[in-house]
Amino acid sequence: MHKQVPICSLSPGEVLPFCRFLLKKSVLYFYDIIRNTVVISVPKLIFNFPAPIILALMLNAVRKQQFKRTIQTVSYLPYFVSWVVVTALFHKLF
C-alpha cells in the first residue's frame, strides 16, 4: 500500500476559515471585477461591432474590382494566416 500524502496542508479545522477568507476577498473585489469587465467590453462592442459593416459598405461602393478584391484579401488574410507570417510578408513586400 502507498502512503497518501495530502496536497494541501490544511487540517479540517482550518478549511472553513480559509474558505471564508476566499469568499470575503471575492465579494470585496466583486464590484471592481464587474466594473472592469464592463469598462473593457462596452468600448469593444461599440467600436468592433460596426467596423466590419462599415468596411463592407465602403467596399460595396468601390467600382474597381481588382482594388476591391485586394482589400478583401488583405482584410481577411489574418484570419487564415498567423500574424507572424503576415508581418514577415509585409516586411518583405514593403
Model pLDDT for residues 49-78, shown as the tens digit of each residue: 898 899 999 999 999 999 999 998 888 887
Angle at 24 between CA 20 and CA 29, to 5 degrees: 150
pLDDT digits 0-9 by tens, 18-54: 677 667 766 677 788 889 989 999 999 998 889 889 9
Provide the 3-class DSSP secondary structure of residue 9: coil
Phi-psi region of 12 (alpha: psi -120 to 50; beta: other; left: phi over 0): alpha
Whole-prediction pTM: 0.49
Q: Under a CB-based contact definition with an 8 Å cutoff, are residues 43 and 37 in contact?
A: no
Residue 5 has pLDDT above 80, yes or no: no
